[in-house]
Amino acid sequence: MTDHEQQAVLTLCLMAAFADGAKDERERAQIKHIAQTLAPGSKLDLAGLYQDVLLGRRSLEDAASALGTPALRTLAYEMAVCVCDADGAAGPAEQAFLERLRNALEIGAQPAQAFSAAAAAVADAPLLEGEVLPPADAAASAAQTPARAAADIAALDRMILNYSILNGALELLPQSIASMAIIPLQMKMVYRVGKSYGYELDRGHIKDLLATLGVGLTGQYVEQIGRKLIGGLLGKAAGGLLGGLGSAATGSAFSFATTYALGAVAKQYYAAGRTIDAAGLKQVFASMLQEGKSLQQRYAPQIEEKARTIDVGQIAQLVRGQ
């Protein structure tokens, strides 16, 4: 993939990130930070791309026209779908953007609809199997009942580690939808940690907690995409492990460490009865993120082995079953 093609894909992904017009300031700030810091020294001016997209100085059609092969056009479309679905299945504005993009990229309606349906199934996987999802516009409110029993700390630690290994493994796979599964799995993990301390959490509460920590859902996926593109990891091994397992190590380490840190923060937060303030949560997260990065090297063999066992065609079922 050339620099010009990388720039076009990132431009379309940033357009997808803002397609709904509803990103809050925390999410915008995270995406801006990613654009400014993701690739120091890279030939790509990500900060400039961010400003161009935000100010409407780039057109969807121009970006689409820079992608000359069916494989690149399909890749760009699938990534845009995943960005739109990162914080829940695409809404009307995002769907309109994706239809316009599909036409510009000359992608058939049937394969586009099939991928969109698969992505929506991952994005809207219930926090708990059998959960009845509330209407999309329902007010988010977490239960206020205090914890009634001590959690099994050893079991929680094993669960957090298992989620971290799984998400590190998903990041090794080339398919867009594999990376997309990381976010709902992180949300399910936080839900299960909260439940172990007596809290029945909803999606709104979990999203707010992640945003407080600086882990916006859309921003996290944009960062995953940017890292793979700039590292030259995309499009090298369609259908197999991404460019060889070793070449995706950076993204895998990030996903492992982020998941590990989220689990550790959730454990402390709910054990303390949700009394830790935002500054305290960020401090714990930063510390646990460093610990997670160190631990990832120890668990690299398990992550690689897990990656070999994942059936990408069953990603939605995998997310639901965790």
pLDDT in tens, 134-155: 343 333 333 444 444 566 888 9
Tell which residue, 17, 114, 9, has the closest CA to residue 67.
Answer: 9
Predicted confidence band at 231 (pLDDT cuts at 50, 70, 90)? low
For the packed helices 3-17 and 46-54, what is the interaxial angle rounded to 10 degrees?
40
Residue 9, burial from CB neighbour count under 10 angstroms (0-12, 13-18, 19+) = buried
| AA identity, residue 141 | S
Which pLDDT belongs to residue 48?
81
Residue 43 has pLDDT above 90, yes or no: no
Model confidence band, residue 239 (pLDDT cutoffs 50, 70, 90): very low
Above 70 in pLDDT, residue 80?
Answer: yes
Q: Could you tell me the residue ranges of all domains in the chain?
A: 3-123, 153-321
**Residue 232: which pLDDT band, with cuts at 50, 70 and 90?**
low
Q: What are phi and psi of 235, to 5 degrees?
A: 75, 10
Give the single-character DSSP code of 75: H
List, for residues 185-204, the tens digit of each pLDDT value. 999 999 999 999 989 888 88
Min mean pLDDT across 101-105, 165-169, 225-229, 279-283 is at: 225-229
Averaged pLDDT of the chain = 80
d(CA 19, CA 80): 10
Asked whether the beta carbons of 190 and 206 are under 8 A apart, the reply is yes
CA atoms within 13 A on the CB side of 127: 22
Q: How far is CA 109 from CA 48, 86, 94, 157, in A?
A: 33, 22, 16, 44
Q: Are residues 12 and 101 in contact, defined by beta-carbon separation less than 8 angstroms?
A: yes
Give the pLDDT mean for 33-58: 73
Q: Tell me: the pLDDT tens digits for 96-134?
A: 999 999 999 999 999 999 999 988 888 888 887 544 333
pLDDT in tens, 277-315: 999 999 999 999 999 999 988 999 999 999 999 988 888
- Predicted model pTM: 0.81
**More confident site: 68 or 87:** 68
Which CATH code is given to the segment(s) 3-123?
A: 1.10.3680
Q: How far apart are CA 4 and CA 152, in angstroms?
A: 52
pLDDT at 159 over 80: yes
- Residues 6 or more apart whose Cβ sits within 8 Å of residue 164: 256, 257, 259, 260, 263, 292, 295, 296, 299
